[in-house]
Each structure stands twice: as C-alpha cells, then as structure tokens.
Amino acid sequence: MKLGVCCVVVLNLVLAETALAEEVARPTQAEIAAINKVISKCLDLSFKRDPAYKDRFDAFYNASTGRIETNVDSQGDRDAFFRFRKCMALQGWPMH
C-alpha cells in the first residue's frame, strides 16, 4: 500500500514539473535577434585588447536550452572570457 502511495506522489510531481516546463515561454525571433546583437557587441568589446583570440572564440544563444554557449577551451582565453561574461551581465544577460 505504501509503495502505491509513493508512486502516485512521484508521478504527480513529475506531471506538475512537466506542466510548469511547458508554461515557460520560448523567446521570439525578435528576442533571439536582440540577444545575438548583445553577444556580438560583447565579443567585439572583449577581444579589443586580445585580437589574436577573436578568431578562436565564439558564442551563441541556444534557444532550446535558453543558455549562451561558448567554445572557451584553453587557459589563454580566460581573461577575454571574463570580459565577455562581465559585458553580458552588464547588458542584462548573466551567464550561469
């Protein structure tokens, strides 16, 4: 009997979580364009001091996850990446 109650509770929690996830609005094309404009601006500002890294570093908004993705993969990119993250935060798009 307790196992049945437990399964019902877990199932209800899963269904509630799924319903909440479906309520989250996807960004419009205009919002995505605005995010990409901010990303481009921050990329330009971040690599002003280190233009050698600009060709290696890229970032984009992944609409399916709602996150800004980057390809930072080496220690040399860290300073520029910090400036990029700071710029994004100042523009209202903090990266977590």
pLDDT tens figures, 52-75: 767 778 888 998 888 888 887 665
pTM, entire model: 0.64
27 φψ region: left (φ > 0), alpha (ψ -120 to 50), beta (else): beta
Q: What is the pLDDT of residue 11?
A: 40
Question: What mean pLDDT is predicted for residues 4-28?
Answer: 53
Model confidence pLDDT, tens digit, residues 76-88: 567 888 888 999 9
Name the residue range of residue 38's domain. 27-90
Domain-located, residue 95: no
Instruction: Give the count of domains, the chain.
Output: 1
Question: What mean pLDDT is predicted for residues 14-27?
Answer: 57
Domain-located, residue 18: no
Cα(36)–Cα(68) distance, rounded to whole angstroms?
Answer: 9
Cα(39)–Cα(88) distance, rounded to whole angstroms?
Answer: 7
Question: What mean pLDDT is predicted for residues 17-38?
Answer: 76
Domain-located, residue 48: yes
Cα(46)–Cα(18) distance, rounded to whole angstroms?
Answer: 38
